[in-house]
Amino acid sequence: MQYAKLNSGANMPMVGIGTWTLKGDKCRESVRKALEVGYIHIDTAEAYDNQEQVALGIKDSGVERDKIFITSKVWKTNLRYDDTLEACDNTLKELQTDYLDLYLIHWPNDEIPMKETFRALTKLKDDGKVKDIGVSNFTIQHLEEAMSVTETAISVDQVKYHPYDNPNDLLEYCNENNIVVTAYSPFGKGDLFSDEELNKIAESHDKSLAQIILKWLIQKDIVVIPRSSSKDHLKANLDLFDWEISDDVVQKLENLT
């Protein structure tokens, strides 16, 4: 596994499992399978309505809490100070844990002053309930505003990032400001699997199309959180660390936007 260093000094595994749309037993089993094949990083959110099943999947796997990096997110209607504190307590309860490795604002909400939310996130960090704080779906303008209202380091921006949606200006801004970028929907929720150019690249590397996309992102120092319920796909999506894609292939992927 490779890691991204966060502001707290914590190591964030570069590959995690996404859990959006996974519910009930399907979620529980996917999380168990992922941990069994070697994942140590799980992405969830209060809005996914699956945190209790994530906790059960972790329990089933037998992997200890302190070996796993867990990210959750506060929904955009819960960004008032008291609401954020309460949302975090609910999430901790549902996940059966007393801390989150990373807690994100799921979406910006212009109707609630960011200062208020960051005051709550800072308290959660000071209280040891979350190790790092961050944001999701924030543009450069949102990040500028966020950094102007808080002294607490923003460790991560989780955004949509894949070959058709490649916000390199945001990545550059985050790199300059010590913010790790996490790519969500790396396969465009599955839409990229029929791309001819990507299929050709994958064939010529003797890798799957999914692996080529994930490797391209990791080589850009972007954390990835692909979702899968298939043990074979989960294994393949983790098999990324003893090979490289060349500069000319990277360029081809960059040009697919």
Ligand X SMILES: NC(=O)c1ccc[n+]([C@@H]2O[C@H](COP(=O)([O-])OP(=O)(O)OC[C@H]3O[C@@H](n4cnc5c(N)ncnc54)[C@H](OP(=O)(O)O)[C@@H]3O)[C@@H](O)[C@H]2O)c1
Footprint on this chain of ligand X (rule: CB under 6 A): 18-20, 43, 106, 136-137, 158, 184-190, 208, 210, 225-230, 233, 236-237
For residue 97, the minimal CB distance to ligand X (Å) is 17
Query: Other C-beta atoms within 10 Å of 203: how many?
Result: 12
**Smaller CB distance to ligand X: residue 78 or 82?**
78
How far is residue 228's CA from residue 159's CA, in Å, rounded to a whole number?
A: 18
**Smaller CB distance to ligand X: residue 210 or 218?**
210
Could you tell me which of 149, 145, 159, 155 has the C-alpha nearest to residue 178? 155
Choosing from 3, 39, 48, 81, the catalytic residue is: 48
> 68 near 100, Cβ under 8 Å?
no
For residue 126, the minimal CB distance to ligand X (Å) is 25
Residue, CB closest to ligand X: 18
**Smaller CB distance to ligand X: residue 162 or 252?**
162
Q: Catalytic annotation on 164? A: no
Largest CA distance in the chain: 54
Query: Other C-beta atoms within 10 Å of 224: how many?
Result: 26
What residues are paired with 159 via a beta bridge? 183
One-letter amino acid identity for 5?
K
For residue 5, the minimal CB distance to ligand X (Å) is 21
For residue 213, the minimal CB distance to ligand X (Å) is 9
The 3-class secondary structure across 122-167, one letter per residue, is HHHHHCCCEEEEEEECCCHHHHHHHHHHCCCCEEEEEEECECCECC
Catalytic residues: 48
